[in-house]
Structure 1
Amino acid sequence: MPLLDTPVRLGVQIEPQQVAYADIREAVVRLEEMGVDILFNWDHFFPLHGGPDGPHFESWTMLAAWAEQTERVEFGALVNCNGYRNADLQADMARTIDHISAKGGEGRFIFGTGSGWFERDYQEYGYEFGTAGSRLDELAVGLGRIESRWERLNPPPTRRIPILIGGAGEKKTLRIVAGHADIWHSFVAPDALAHKLDVIAGWADVDGHDVSRLIVSSELKGRDTDTADALHDAGARLFTLGFGGPEWDFGLVQRWLDWRDRKN
């Protein structure tokens, strides 16, 4: 599958757990000043590691704050959980955050989304967990509703909001990627990327979609530059780094920024 050769970008996923919100606010300022391209959080209600009942903050309200706080950086969730909120409401929230972030130009919001997986979130907040398959079916329907609602909102989004979809399942997830995504995010190893991209291209052919401008996104956390080089050679152009506090390792971010700059 031919890939769009865009500049390499670095996204940092600020883990919204085990810290005070003041720590997150300060990290956002510093990371934008350092030159990070995209800031992400995640959409959960409880910590994913560390103390399971430790401090944790909600995704969308935080993203609205980032929209106002930042000036340059793009931002979004890596990833939003489709099952927690009505699809049309998600579209409206995304459009509003897009406008908050615009500040005289286009908005900077990226709509990262997925089907959800962390059962505790569902159980404790009263959502139906279902099955992996049913959650993916709901994501496919929800994305259609979101795209339709964006066309009807007044005012509309300031730009065509990019959609990032995470996951690598070949029967359902990658078909959804082929139909809706501008960015595909995964943890796939370098030697498996080509096959996954062929699957996406195959679904695009079946369903009549154009994936010629799809951006491939890969995770860096726990990986070295040799692996990042191999991912780049395989077509990845967005690289994300999981980043936890309160002992933020900004030196690690700077090393990956230097790697990005060498690639560009």
Structure 2
Amino acid sequence: MSASIPQTLTASGPVDDDVLIVGAGLAGLFLALQLAPRPCTVISPAPLGQAASSAWAQGGLAAAMHPLDSPEQHAADTVAAGAGLVDPIIARLIAEEGPARVRDLVALGVPFDRTPDGALALSLEAAHSHPRVARVAGDLAGKAIMDALVSAVAAAPHITVIEGVRATGLMQDANLQVAGVILRDVSGTLSTRTARETVLCTGGSGGLFQVTTNPPEARGDAVAMAWEAGALIADLEFVQFHPTAIDIGRDPAPLATEALRGEGATLHNRDG
């Protein structure tokens, strides 16, 4: 296909996929698994698990799993930590869903750390008022979760994975509804793939900055594609980064895990 293909293309004819998921991190793979038995296709620019920032997550997954904790308290802590910037309705929805999503990951085989009596070992971090961070081997939760999801996706007959291609734009139908994506492979060749439903799960935009704590591939591509297709974009000022990166001249910068501070450690620079 010619390299002059526009970023937004009108789609017509037969549809390639029922659901097309752009991105193969935790969000994309978890969604694909939850869609069973509905067939779906996942687009991944690299072999599964190798380019997703999800695998880099260290501290664990926060959810109100402790007997003395509650989603209401988790949401309240989130709102307080946000210093006026958090939508309380969204915070409540996410906090209420948290425990069930942890149980989903347990069912998928994620080996969360356990106490001697078999309960989840929960860490205290940041502004949480209760220990509620479910972890794996201390600070390897992201990698363990992605390993489990990759294995589950490989065994799922309803999921097709296309590796080695990157979405560069969205296709639209005659009514300007999103109808698929424009893809570019490693050689630069462009192609198209149509779908009844297209879901963007491509991560954040930390890679746009001079130094990032995310994979440099995370450049806000989905936001740009959605905007070009007419989507309303909000809250672009919120960019995910790790609060304790170590400045040693590397990009991405290595991290000091948040679990250090959660367990009471203090961080000191070369000036003390």
Question: Please, what TM-score do these two structures have when normalized by structure 2?
Answer: 0.25
Q: Which has the larger radius of gyration?
A: 2
- Length-normalised TM-score, structure 1: 0.26
Greater helix proportion: 1
